[in-house]
A and B are shown apart, each in its own frame.
Chain A
Amino acid sequence: MLKTLTALAALLATGATAQERQLQLYNWGDYTSPDLIAKFEAETGIDVTLTDYDSNDTALAKVQAGGHGFDLVVPSANYVPIWRELGLIQELDLSRLPNHANIAPEWRDVDWDPGRLFTVPWQWGSTGVAVNTSAYSGDINTSDIFLSPPPELVGKINVVPEMNDIISLAIFNVGGEPCTEDLDVLRQVRDLLMAAKPSWLSMDYDSEAKLSANDIMAAATWNGPSMRARLNNPPVRFGYPQEGFPLWMDSVALLSDARNVDEAYEFLDFIMAPENAALISNYARYANGITGSEQYMDEVMRDAPEIVIPEELRGAGVFLPTCPASAVDLYSRIWTELQGS
């Protein structure tokens, strides 16, 4: 009872008392390892408050409105330039981040943040296909798995309802470029998706449970759910479409109006230490972009085929740039038609 009362008092007083060192982390839901936070709090004495968001747009809208009280936010790669152009995130003082040197070379000079002056890696992954190989034994490194499905998989496919990921996979499938506004290409994309949709069972986020339970035999999804499904159901494999597949990365940025700047720097440096980055990966089952973190990861993660992209398919991975509004508008129209059909 006393504990509840104290919690109540603390609730009402939020923001009023600030002698204790604190940090406000604003991150995707179900994405932050509780072990990571506990370790950071124990080592630094900083009290971390975690708040969830469910989309890049929600996070952007709340921070733009001002007075949000957050210190760190974790936008996706294609949103980082937007945050920067709006002046919502600040350039990092690299002299305060000795662990910055741990960022793996391929994640240092990225298009959305050359030299990593604004963001540090959180997690990255791929969008591809997951296939239960007991139902289909052909080549799975192709987006035809859900766009022109083999007969064995028809009616047993779930597609994640993420417009950018799915439209991009279809654009790559017909040989188009990311952010294309070529109407001929987009007409093919539209026809391909509309023709494929009757072979899908569902369009939702829950591929992991459905693959685990053999409710579906294939999915267009991220590598994380695919791996977690394999741990429950061994024949599930992740395919990297050779026609091209989206890569994504969420990175941590320091907000321009952060109030706990010192604490934020401590946290940023902390998560770039390999043993701590591994905690992030162990929780959500995605790779993190920090050199040397592999050795601290759970054994099932270390050489997981969902984490380590095969050499010959690496070139097919594409970071989706921030598409112009005119392109997004075209994609939205295809997407609306697809979802409504």
Chain B
Amino acid sequence: MRAFDARRLPGFTTVAALAFVFLYLPIATVVVFSFNALPSMSAWGGFSLQWYREAWANEAVQEATVRSLVIATVASLASTALATLAALATVRQGRFRGRTLVYGVINQPLVVPEIVTGVALLIVFGWVRSNTGYQGLGYLLLAHTAFCIPFAYLPIRARLETMDPTLESAASDLYASPMQAFRRVTLPLLGPGIAAGLMLAFVTSLDDVIITEFVKSAGQDTLPTWMLGQFRRTLTPEVNAIATAILALTLVLLTAFFLTTRKRA
């Protein structure tokens, strides 16, 4: 008797093909029409880079882009550093009481709906703002760092769990101090996991809309919240162009993520 195999179910190919069409056709439409010479979402008027030029020259887009990149860089670096420490503490410790609870707490942003976090942060930060008067980028940096942690944590933990702990023991046997063993053995082996976590966190921060919309202070629109503001009037191909650019950046980072986590032959 053969084992169960989903690929042998009747209609598997059709369902799979349809799923891919539904997933990618809308995205392909946005990409294609971002190169449209006409300001239309349906009629094709020839190839043009006009909307990319307009988006590039738009001061609001420039500012939002710089802000998005600054936030994503800071938040991904900070959350990856914290996630690395958390992974070392939870995995290297062996099993301990409440480990499942700790996992749950670290991964909280994955399960709590974003709108809940957004409203909660709005209230807390509103209180902090009223009492300190601080209106800087700090609120967004803190919020993004917090919800990026699980995205950085998961690949790092996965990497750590498959690493051979006897290598560290061997380093200790050869008189490496704990710090030396960490820097010379653990960290280099963990490298691909950390790099993957960093990229995943970066992409997560770059794409966020809901929490950012609630947390942003005056004049702190990021690229996604700026795009959201444009939708009320009309969808311009300029927004398509920006969406395509974000998509391209995300794809590059995810490809890099895939290459760094891929099993070595």
Contact = CB atoms under 8 A, between A and B. Distances in A.
Q: Check if A and B associate.
A: yes
A53 interface: yes
Contact of B136 (A12, A30, A52, A208): A12
Contacts of B234: 205-209, 225, 228
Interface string A9-34: 00111111000000010101111001
A8 B70 contact: yes
A54 B134 contact: no
A214 B42 CA distance: 9
A274 interface: no
Contact of A58 (B67, B135, B213, B218): B213
A284 interface: yes
B126 A29 contact: no
Interface stretch (B15-23, B150-158, B168-176, B219-227): B219-227
A193 B216 CA distance: 38
Interface in B102-140: 119, 122-123, 125-131, 133-137
Interface stretch (B33-41, B186-194, B252-260): B33-41
Nearest to B59: A34
A317 interface: no
B41 A206 contact: yes
B54 to A, nearest CB: 13
A224 interface: yes
A151 interface: no
B217 A14 contact: yes
A22 to B, nearest CB: 10
B152 to A, nearest CB: 23
Contacts of A66: 126-127, 129-130
Interface in A54-84: 54, 58, 61-62, 65-70
B135 A14 contact: yes
B43 interface: yes
Q: Which of A7, A49, A69, A232 has the most chain B CB atoms closer than 10 A to its own CB?
A: A69
A268 B23 CA distance: 48
| Residue of B42, B129, B133, B234 with most chain A CB atoms under a 10 A cut-off | B234
B28 to A, nearest CB: 18
Interface residues of B, number: 45
B11 interface: no
Contacts of B129: 66-69
Contacts, number: 133
B214 interface: yes
A28 B228 CA distance: 10
Contact of A52 (B66, B134, B221): B221
B66 A68 contact: no
B43 A29 contact: no
A134 interface: no
A1 B119 CA distance: 37
A215 B137 CA distance: 43
Interface residues of A, number: 46
A51 interface: yes
Given A26-B218, A65-B126, A224-B233, A7 B63 contact: yes
Nearest to A53: B229
B137 A12 contact: yes
Contacts of B91: none
Nearest to A232: B39
Contacts of B49: none
Residue of A13, A29, A213 with most partner-chain B CB within 10 A: A29
Contact of B70 (A11, A34, A65): A11
Given A11-B67, A224-B233, A65 B226 contact: no
A183 B128 CA distance: 46
Contact of A15 (B40, B135, B214, B226): B135
Contacts of B135: 14-15, 67, 69
Contacts of A215: 41-43
Interface in A176-218: 205-210, 212-215
Nearest to B236: A209
Given A15-B135, A209-B235, A30 B217 contact: no
Given A205-B235, A207-B234, 13 more contacts: A15-B135, A16-B136, A26-B218, A34-B59, A49-B218, A52-B226, A52-B229, A54-B231, A66-B126, A209-B235, A213-B43, A215-B41, A215-B42
Listed from nearest, the 10 A-B pairs whose CB atoms lie closest are A29-B229, A67-B129, A15-B135, A65-B126, A52-B229, A49-B219, A67-B130, A213-B40, A66-B126, A69-B218
